[in-house]
Structure 1
């Protein structure tokens, strides 16, 4: 008879020692028999287990941990439904290119494919969503498979993203040979700094320094390149956009920032630089229908950010910081051709729009139902947030308000997958990783409902997060689309549920706020008593920019209605 005892020399213990050596101090997990050997050995190594209420949330938390720390996020989920529950989180990390390691278990090898409890071929499910996916059946291969999975997750030699390993329970109990436990496999590894080809650097410099209206757009691949990016903007006189993947790289006060003029600058630029950024739906796929005759300079260290949808007139395959340093060095004292009046004019229009927005937010009228406009909530939050706050924005319609209404040096949201429901898990993980910073989740009530039970996790682990629920009792963007497109609302209204009451039941400080004048004091009390939740009633009548743009009805060729019309004209030979 086999014993459930797991020795300190077991594969499970080796996994825990490996993670500890690689700097992992926190794992997000939901317990189960198939992973219990790993679970107990993690505890034995002093690695904190943040036990969650749903496996999807465990992967979301690992994702957010990786984003705010710059390290590896680790999720531990049990077999069968534990893995299938986790798949939405894995899919989001896949699209976001987040370095997450997911570990699981399978039935003992003697019971495989015989109808054992939770016996599923997990790897077949997760392989399309991961950079690496393996079942490790041999104890002597555990260490090298862990090393390879972490390297793949962190993008060593390729695109970063989730990696997955599972282990039969008897393999976890088995003792690997000491001979295969080579010291170098425990050593932390840095991603290699990929240096650019000098010829591609020269091509990029020629394009950039001859551009009259240069636009720089950064993405997640540019994180860590703040210094050379700001120097490039200063030297070139270019204007700058960030679409949320890398907010904080360039301060909002920098004269190159023209976020409020996004539509204009995309159509006016003659050279567009993408730094570790895909040309996805948020950037009109780089289409000439939107970008006109602009030429592209693509800079990235992985192929998916280098040549998707539009090839560059110059393409620099390198780490973004190394590429920018090389470009600056090669340019030397060369004088750029940038039209300073164009850039200054865009910045002035941006500043005017931004100021107008701030004023309008504080004065936004209530709806006919007497409930406050969501911008009143965001204005009060913006006033209360410190400069180094971490903001997590979540939702459909509410996200559209929050991403322009809130300022943050670190900003997280559902990303290009549109994976709403990340807010509470992301906020919990960020607040545990950065307890000295204010972490605020600004979420719509629909998105909040996906992982509302994780407030229990916040309470149990004393995560110092403030969750603010904009409660409009509906899936507002869909309600508006149904009303305007179909003339009838079907299945898109919610209750004005008592989210504060639920939070109180789980031990959080919680208040329901119904009037704008109550917000400053309520926010101050919540900040002082985190974890906390504010349930703020807002009107569903407010129309967001996304609702007005046609995003909800999913146009045929482009994500937004105006872009779709331009694309149709361009493809038919008209003027975009």
Structure 2
């Protein structure tokens, strides 16, 4: 049998050299014939391939890698079902605005549209989920397509997010002319962003420094502006709310942090500064029904985070860190009008609520079924893990407990798409991206099931990630909604499956824990397994009777106007009054 060769001057080799020149040291992938030339050339260039069990997980891992490193995440998936499997990952990266490059292949050009194996128009599928999608059929055009794709992924000139490039397999094997391999396409100059408009800076200063009750809310765009954000909070005396997109940016000890008073501060603020954050469903779309008569100041490096749902009294399209530095410089010695008594009172209430939560978590009573409360799991993890642990929270009900109870300097969760099942893939990528740090995946049993086989990936690549499954044998939020709204439970019960046995079968450390008093020792053994160079899983049986804050909020039954029942009622009253 004659097998086509893949030479060092092929398009596949060019892809590998391009990625290496752009600093890519690992690619998350699942093999297939249509991408094998690229696969082998990546290996030849010394780029590590993290081979996964499902293409969806490959894109999730690339997503988490991008979020944690601030660089480009790359996934390689095969044609047809490889691409369709990857689409959920693309959708999540699309909503999260994560810079992910997905590479694929197609049948040889001579076989297109003839019923070839896995012959599909991938770009038609993925175009709505990507910033750029192109099939490259001419070898000499590949390098410029890759350059444009990466620029779009990183948000150079637009909103960051996922991009897609596929190449027919005969093109991957074809020679690329040396004449088109221009150095600037491998190593372009750093992209520059225009500085903030000085008139807009002054408007923002006037609004913020005249506010009596200023609130700052950060998001994705603030991730590289932590020191500048803290400096603004210190100077302005504003209170602060993080979101899942930027959690850990401001230390919990900072006097501006008032996360436990989220509902009250959103109602009381007279000026709200959003820093690289959309006003999506998690922030009530910025509605006056929730934020009252507050004015907004919007700062972002892309338009999608600048004027969605509410326009600002001042708007700055600029790098957030640079914009904050400009604000502080323009304010000079001007004294802010912030009501320090108001801010201190909110902080005092936040601390009191947080302290009470800690006390109640550790003593949370078991359910009527005798199974432990999920907060006992959270409390034990808080006690055992270092403060710099990377926390990945996943699920519906258990995510709500973890989001409230687990502090984190570095945090990932399913994001605004609500894409449960990301936990184990995110955790694998996090442990690879953050060597030397503990990585915890705190997940519900339902969400764990989506990508449970990625434990196999963690074992094969000796990834030291701790997965803790809160096993309540149900889709708990939906069970509660069905009971309260419909009076009947249909298709939302699971079994109390032995996930620890699955972990052991795949070669990981696995333990099942059914008593709260056994948790500390089990966690210690799991951490020891991580130190030995592999993953560990704790399958912790918890009661399905515990109601999380999300279960109580009305989120599951999807109100008409707002995502939460209280906000929905406020929105209805506001619209009626208007």
Matched with 1:410 is 410
Once the two structures are TM-superposed, the CA of residue 440 in structure 1 deviates from its matched residue by 0.4
- Determine helix, strand or coil for the equivalent of 1:152: helix
Once the two structures are TM-superposed, the CA of residue 478 in structure 1 deviates from its matched residue by 0.2
Once the two structures are TM-superposed, the CA of residue 191 in structure 1 deviates from its matched residue by 4.2
Moved more, 364-373 or 193-202: 193-202
Q: For 2:381 and 2:97, how far apart are their aligned partners in 1?
A: 30
Matched with 1:572 is 576
Once the two structures are TM-superposed, the CA of residue 194 in structure 1 deviates from its matched residue by 3.4
Once the two structures are TM-superposed, the CA of residue 544 in structure 1 deviates from its matched residue by 0.4
Task: Please list, as runs of the form range in 1=range in 2, the aligned pairs for 1:23-172 lying within 5 A after superposition.
Answer: 23-172=23-172
Structure 2 residue 545 is matched with structure 1 residue 541: yes
Once the two structures are TM-superposed, the CA of residue 380 in structure 1 deviates from its matched residue by 0.3
Once the two structures are TM-superposed, the CA of residue 190 in structure 1 deviates from its matched residue by 3.8
- Determine helix, strand or coil for the equivalent of 1:440: strand
Once the two structures are TM-superposed, the CA of residue 188 in structure 1 deviates from its matched residue by 5.6
Q: For 1:434 and 1:345, how far apart are their aligned partners in 2?
A: 37
Matched with 2:339 is 339
- For the aligned residue pairs, the C-alpha RMSD in angstroms reads 0.9
- Determine helix, strand or coil for the equivalent of 1:551: coil
Q: For 1:139 and 1:2, how far apart are their aligned partners in 2?
A: 22
Q: For 1:252 and 1:392, how far apart are their aligned partners in 2?
A: 18
Native 8 Å contact 1:193 1:322 kept in 2: no
Q: For 2:528 and 2:247, how far apart are their aligned partners in 1?
A: 27
- Determine helix, strand or coil for the equivalent of 2:416: coil
When residues 348 and 506 of structure 1 are mapped into structure 2, their CA distance, relative to the original with a 3 A threshold, is same
Native 8 Å contact 1:240 1:256 kept in 2: yes
Matched with 2:504 is 504
Once the two structures are TM-superposed, the CA of residue 332 in structure 1 deviates from its matched residue by 0.1
Matched with 1:401 is 401
Q: For 1:316 and 1:150, how far apart are their aligned partners in 2?
A: 25
Once the two structures are TM-superposed, the CA of residue 2 in structure 1 deviates from its matched residue by 7.8
- Determine helix, strand or coil for the equivalent of 1:63: helix
Q: For 1:37 and 1:211, how far apart are their aligned partners in 2?
A: 60
Give per-residue Cα distances to partners, 1:70-112, cap 9 Å, x unaligned: 1110000000000000000000000000000000000001111
Q: For 1:2 and 1:502, how far apart are their aligned partners in 2?
A: 42
Once the two structures are TM-superposed, the CA of residue 388 in structure 1 deviates from its matched residue by 1.0
Give per-residue Cα distances to partners, 1:209-237, cap 9 Å, x unaligned: 00000000000011110111101000000
Give per-residue Cα distances to partners, 1:264-306, cap 9 Å, x unaligned: 0000000000000000000000000000000000000111000
Give per-residue Cα distances to partners, 1:222-261, cap 9 Å, x unaligned: 1110111101000000000011110111001000000000
Matched with 1:371 is 371
Give per-residue Cα distances to partners, 1:500-546, cap 9 Å, x unaligned: 00000010011000001101111011011021000000000000000
Matched with 2:211 is 211
When residues 2 and 121 of structure 1 are mapped into structure 2, their CA distance, relative to the original with a 3 A threshold, is farther
Task: Please list, as runs of the form range in 1=range in 2, the aligned pairs for 1:424-435 lying within 5 A after superposition.
Answer: 424-435=424-435
TM-score, scaled relative to structure 1: 0.99
Q: For 1:72 and 1:437, how far apart are their aligned partners in 2?
A: 21
Q: For 1:268 and 1:472, how far apart are their aligned partners in 2?
A: 38
Native 8 Å contact 1:278 1:305 kept in 2: yes
Unaligned runs of 5+ in 2: none
- Determine helix, strand or coil for the equivalent of 2:577: coil
Once the two structures are TM-superposed, the CA of residue 418 in structure 1 deviates from its matched residue by 0.1
Task: Please list, as runs of the form range in 1=range in 2, the aligned pairs for 1:457-496 lying within 5 A after superposition.
Answer: 457-496=457-496
TM-score, scaled relative to structure 2: 0.98
Count of aligned residue pairs for this structure pair: 574
Q: For 2:111 and 2:48, how far apart are their aligned partners in 1?
A: 31
Structure 2 residue 565 is matched with structure 1 residue 561: yes
Matched with 2:351 is 351
Matched with 1:228 is 228
Q: For 2:185 and 2:191, how far apart are their aligned partners in 1?
A: 15
- Determine helix, strand or coil for the equivalent of 1:510: strand
Give per-residue Cα distances to partners, 1:374-401, cap 9 Å, x unaligned: 0000000011111111000000011110
Once the two structures are TM-superposed, the CA of residue 192 in structure 1 deviates from its matched residue by 2.4
Once the two structures are TM-superposed, the CA of residue 189 in structure 1 deviates from its matched residue by 5.2
Q: For 1:110 and 1:237, how far apart are their aligned partners in 2?
A: 66
When residues 362 and 188 of structure 1 are mapped into structure 2, their CA distance, relative to the original with a 3 A threshold, is farther
Q: For 1:191 and 1:50, how far apart are their aligned partners in 2?
A: 29
When residues 87 and 178 of structure 1 are mapped into structure 2, their CA distance, relative to the original with a 3 A threshold, is same
- Determine helix, strand or coil for the equivalent of 2:360: helix
Q: For 1:189 and 1:440, how far apart are their aligned partners in 2?
A: 37
Task: Please list, as runs of the form range in 1=range in 2, the aligned pairs for 1:516-527 lying within 5 A after superposition.
Answer: 516-527=516-527
Q: For 1:73 and 1:37, how far apart are their aligned partners in 2?
A: 20
Q: For 1:4 and 1:377, how far apart are their aligned partners in 2?
A: 55
Task: Please list, as runs of the form range in 1=range in 2, the aligned pairs for 1:317-336 lying within 5 A after superposition.
Answer: 317-336=317-336
